[in-house]
Homo-oligomer: A and B are copies of this chain.
Amino acid sequence: MLHSGENLFWEGERFDSFCTVLDGWLFSYRLFGDGRRQILNLLFPGDVVGSWIGEAVAHCSVQALTPSKLCVLPQLSQMDLATRFPELAIRYGETIHNQLVRSECRVASLGRQSARQRIAHFILDLCCRLNVSHGKPLQAAIPMPLTQEDIADFLGLTNVTVCRILGDFRTENLIRIAGHELQVRDPEQLAEICEYDWLECSSASAEAWI
């Protein structure tokens, strides 16, 4: 269990465990010397944290965004894992491969898309991961515990820019924001803005690991 704002581990720290998220939202991030922060990834139930091969030193920090439950898997030797639990090894490969695809899509977005495109991309990707993979319609409202500053740090922008563009999207009736929920109203047009091709919709589920 982690409270919101609590860290699972810090960049540079030794972290050999291998966890999966059972419940809650977390994010991994890096801090720079001048205080800038880049959020690397959002972690939802079913995602893995850490490496099964046990990286000596964490390359990023991980923090809980909402109260979160994690399952720490017993640390086996690699060989044990692969030979005694081959289905676990397969699932690990799948999950980490999904994360890699997603990460590379983010590289493309950060490298070559405008602020407007990045934000559209972010919204659609989030809906895909949360709604579509759980069988809900894309337009279903999703919880939004991220502040605008979090979104900015995720997309390599500033909170001011995020605020302005979310405002635009709202007046263009592309999205609706109420309380801490976000709803996509016009996925087609959002997809057109950012050239989203609905490929990136694979996600994980927590049940698979239990």
Contacts and interface: CB of A to CB of B under 8 A. Distances in A.
Interface of A: 12, 28, 30, 32-33, 36-38, 40-41, 51-53, 55, 57, 59-60, 78-79, 81-83, 86-87, 89-90, 92-94, 96-97, 99-101, 103-108, 110-113, 153, 155-156, 195, 197, 199-200
Contacts of A93: 52-53, 78, 89, 92-93, 96
A36 B112 contact: yes
Given A28-B104, A52-B97, A110-B111, 12 more contacts: A32-B113, A53-B94, A55-B101, A57-B199, A59-B101, A59-B104, A60-B104, A79-B86, A82-B87, A82-B90, A103-B104, A112-B156
A40 B108 contact: yes
A52 to B, nearest CB: 6
Contact of A38 (B52, B99, B101, B108): B108
A30 B108 contact: yes
A110 B112 CA distance: 10
Q: Which 7 A-B pairs have the closest CB atoms?
A: A111-B156, A82-B86, A110-B110, A103-B103, A38-B108, A38-B111, A38-B112
15 contacts: A32-B112, A32-B195, A38-B108, A53-B97, A59-B101, A59-B200, A78-B90, A79-B87, A82-B82, A82-B87, A82-B90, A89-B90, A96-B96, A96-B100, A111-B153
